[in-house]
Amino acid sequence: MEKIAVGVATRNRPRMFAHMLESFLNLKWPDDSQIEFIFLENNHTLQIQNTVEDFKEKLFKNTGNIPHIHTTAVESRHGIPFVRNRILDIALDKGCDYLAFCDDDQTVNSDYLVELVRAAKVRSLDLVGSIARVETSSSASDLTFFQKLVYNELRSHQEKQESHAIRLHTAHKDQDWKPGSGAMLCRLDFLRQHRIRFNESLRYSHCEDLDFYYQVKTAGGQTGCAPRAIVYEVMPESRLSPTFQFKRHKNLTLARQNIRYAWGVKEKKVIRLSCTILGKLILGISRICLAPFNRGRSFTRGVRVLGGALGRLQSLLGHEDKHYVQTDGN
């Protein structure tokens, strides 16, 4: 019987964490497997115990005799790489074969785990990415005009990314597809053999999963995606403001550029980024100016492009992403 760990880290998001656990109740389980849930609180004290106990009771009623084990722990060092490494260590110590990650601001579809494990086995993959969709925590009627603009653009962008991933997967060309979220599955024997861990220098940064991907590829690992393994990023209203999207895309681009050039050709960085920044500035301003003529559809794109231009400039100047110093959501 294979042991499959499902790891979730959370920090100051009790409602979102509980919502994520609710989606776990509908998960389908791979055949002949034991599930090891690992819940880690990134805080000084354990506050999620009651939520986890409630989840355990509901899960037992839903699944009956399917073997489950639960581990709940605290990681006091603030930062995503710290908690991911702690989850990784727990899974390795317990002799698990696979480890699937999920974020506390996400929910999963019922086939999430089955599809990830199937892809890893059938294609002998060492790292399998999932597809990320967006959904709002509020009804559409409660959103403001600008929140609707942002949400519709995020949905449109996500649908294009998903279609691209499906095309690559269908054509058997998804080996270079990079994970777009931290929701992914790892083959633990490979990680143990090559001593691969999350980069703890990226303490408050986006894209620790991208750096992890590059480590796997550099070690000769096989990677791909499972298009039917779906996670939903739950967007509270605070994330649907143009200001938040500008800052988020700035920080995301900053982190992505820093990691990309850390693993790539550094001497070309100044020339490439300088040309790209100028082009992005022109494109972003143009899209915002065109927004009144296309019912606002290009507004959010323009805001995100300008954020990306600033992120590239900050990367050129040697800045680091500090997006996760504070946790949004609830």
| Tens-place pLDDT, residues 201-255 | 888 788 899 999 999 999 999 999 999 999 999 888 989 999 999 999 999 999 9
| Tens-place pLDDT, residues 131-179 | 999 988 777 778 899 999 999 999 999 999 899 999 999 998 898 888 7
| Tens-place pLDDT, residues 285-316 | 999 999 999 989 899 999 999 999 999 999 88
Where do the structural domains in the chain lie, given as residue ranges? 2-240, 244-322
CA separation for the pair 89, 78 (Å, rounded): 17
Q: 136: buried, middle or exposed (CB in 10 Å: 19+, 13-18, 0-12)? A: buried
| Vertex 134: Cα angle to 244 and 210 (nearest 5) | 75
Q: Structure tokens of 319?
A: 């800045």
Q: How far is CA 51 from CA 37, 39, 59, 86, in A?
A: 14, 11, 12, 20
- Classify 2-240 by CATH class: alpha beta
